[in-house]
């Protein structure tokens, strides 16, 4: 049956109730400091949320390279574009509901468009930290639960979109984004999630990583839903042999790894804390429908806004749990078997 691939270096306590939980945003803050230490051209701008986004840690270490613009997300994006045009590597951050939610037009025009038309080596290196994304913002409610940001960002030409699974991977994603050409969007939540990857767990922008081998169904997930996917695969291991892939990079999509996976297993389940339209599930469905059509089931927020509640309650209400993934896997496998009988 399926097993954890030892080269992935996941923590031994992956399936334990005692698995440590850490704010994913802590990884962003640590990554900013590391990026600043490596490159003196790294600058950080924030929109009145320095503590919440953990940009405060960069401000304390490099006060001369930090700018606080106040509640002005549109200005933040335009200012960042101008600074990046002079050669700086600029990180901007706010709640995802406000950036890219509120300042999408400025990101599109001053960052993405100007980067897209620039010559190689002259890209607009603005990196966008979308904090407090997803329904796990909890009591803040629907207005602050950004569920459309991945779709917004992946539609922009030249934009790279990252959705790290835990704090360790978020730190790696932030450091990698500083060295990656062009605009990058990094999405992370507010609440504490299981921290189960390690410094040795492979991470590379644009590459899908296999966290569990399997032959009967491929589960592709990112963000907090990757942990739920691993739990689902464990629950199913005596019934269905599930492969679990970490698709932390939604754009550019690792089409080669994805194609090999679906050719092997013949069916797919995607899982994300985002609208099931336009995000990870949309990207996977678009690709396999053109290249290698197989049954696919998508776990995500089903065309609705969020609501207030604690994260665990909301994950159950919005059908984003391991049990929901288990159900989707069974349905995908049934669809595959039905197609074979035809």
Domains in the chain, start-ordered, CATH in brackets?
A: 6-18+200-341 (3.40.50.920), 21-194 (3.40.50.970)
The CA distance from 217 to 219, in Å, is 7
Q: Are 150 and 301 in contact (CB under 8 A)?
A: no
Element (H, E) at 298: strand 296-301
Q: How far is CA 211 from CA 133, 189, 298, in A?
A: 24, 21, 19
User: Which letter, b or e, does each residue of 81-96 get, where b requires 16 or more Cβ atoms within 10 Å of its Cβ?
Assistant: bebbbeebbbbbbbbb
The CA distance from 254 to 266, in Å, is 18
The closest of 214, 229, 253, 96 to 165, measured between CA atoms, is: 229
157: exposed, middle or buried (Cβ count in 10 Å: 0-12, 13-18, 19+): exposed
The CA distance from 7 to 241, in Å, is 19
Rounding to the nearest 10 degrees, give the CA dihedral for residues 17, 133, 63, 167.
30
Is residue 273 part of the annotated active site? The answer reads no
Question: Which pTM was predicted?
Answer: 0.96
Q: 225-236 vs 322-341: helix axis angle to the nearest 10?
A: 60
62: exposed, middle or buried (Cβ count in 10 Å: 0-12, 13-18, 19+): middle
| DSSP track, 242-271 | EEEEE--EEES--HHHHHHHHHHHS-EEEE
Q: Which residue do the tokens 């767990």 mark?
A: 201
Of the candidates 73, 148, 169, 209, the residue annotated as catalytic is 73
pLDDT, tens digit only, all 342 positions of the chain: 455 555 566 877 787 778 899 999 999 999 999 999 999 999 999 999 999 999 999 999 999 999 999 999 999 999 999 999 999 999 999 999 999 999 999 999 999 999 999 999 999 999 999 999 999 898 889 999 999 999 999 999 999 999 999 999 999 999 999 999 999 999 999 889 999 999 999 999 999 999 999 999 999 999 999 999 999 999 999 999 999 999 999 999 999 999 999 999 999 999 999 999 999 999 999 999 999 999 999 999 999 999 999 999 999 999 999 999 999 999 999 999 988 876
The closest of 39, 274, 24, 43 to 173, measured between CA atoms, is: 24
The CA distance from 322 to 188, in Å, is 20
The CA distance from 62 to 67, in Å, is 10
């Amino acid at each position: 049956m399926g097993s954890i691939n030892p080269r992935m270096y996941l923590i031994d306590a992956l399936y334990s109730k005692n698995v440590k939980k850490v704010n994913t945003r802590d990884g962003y803050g640590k990554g900013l400091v590391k990026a600043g230490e490596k490159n003196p051209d790294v600058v950080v701008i924030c929109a009145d949320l320095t503590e919440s986004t953990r940009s405060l840690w960069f401000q304390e270490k490099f006060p001369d390279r930090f700018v606080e613009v106040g509640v002005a997300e549109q200005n933040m994006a335009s200012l960042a574009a101008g600074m990046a045009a002079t050669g700086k590597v600029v990180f901007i951050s706010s709640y995802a509901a406000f950036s890219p939610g509120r300042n999408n037009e400025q990101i599109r025009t001053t960052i993405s468009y100007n980067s897209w038309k620039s010559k190689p080596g002259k890209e607009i290196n603005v990196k966008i930290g979308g904090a407090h994304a997803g329904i796990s913002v909890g009591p803040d409610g629907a207005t602050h639960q950004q569920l459309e940001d991945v779709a917004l960002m992946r539609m922009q030409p030249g934009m790279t979109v990252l959705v790290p699974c835990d704090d360790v991977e978020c730190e790696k994603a932030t450091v990698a984004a500083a060295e990656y050409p062009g605009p990058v969007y990094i999405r992370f939540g507010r609440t504490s999630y299981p921290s189960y990857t390690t410094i040795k767990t492979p991470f590379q922008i644009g590459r899908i990583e296999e966290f569990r081998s399997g032959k009967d169904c491929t589960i592709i997930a990112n963000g907090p839903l990757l942990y739920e996917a691993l739990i689902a695969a464990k629950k199913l291991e005596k019934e269905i042999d599930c492969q679990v892939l970490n698709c932390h990079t939604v754009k550019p999509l690792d089409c080669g790894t994805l194609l090999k996976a679906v050719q092997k297993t013949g069916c797919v389940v995607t899982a994300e804390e985002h609208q099931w339209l336009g995000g990870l599930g949309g990207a996977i469905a678009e690709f396999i429908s053109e290249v290698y059509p197989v049954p696919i089931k998508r776990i995500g927020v089903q065309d609705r806004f969020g609501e207030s509640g604690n994260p665990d309650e909301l994950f159950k209400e919005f059908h984003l749990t391991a049990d929901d993934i288990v159900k989707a896997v069974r349905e995908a496998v049934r669809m595959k078997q039905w197609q074979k009988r035809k």
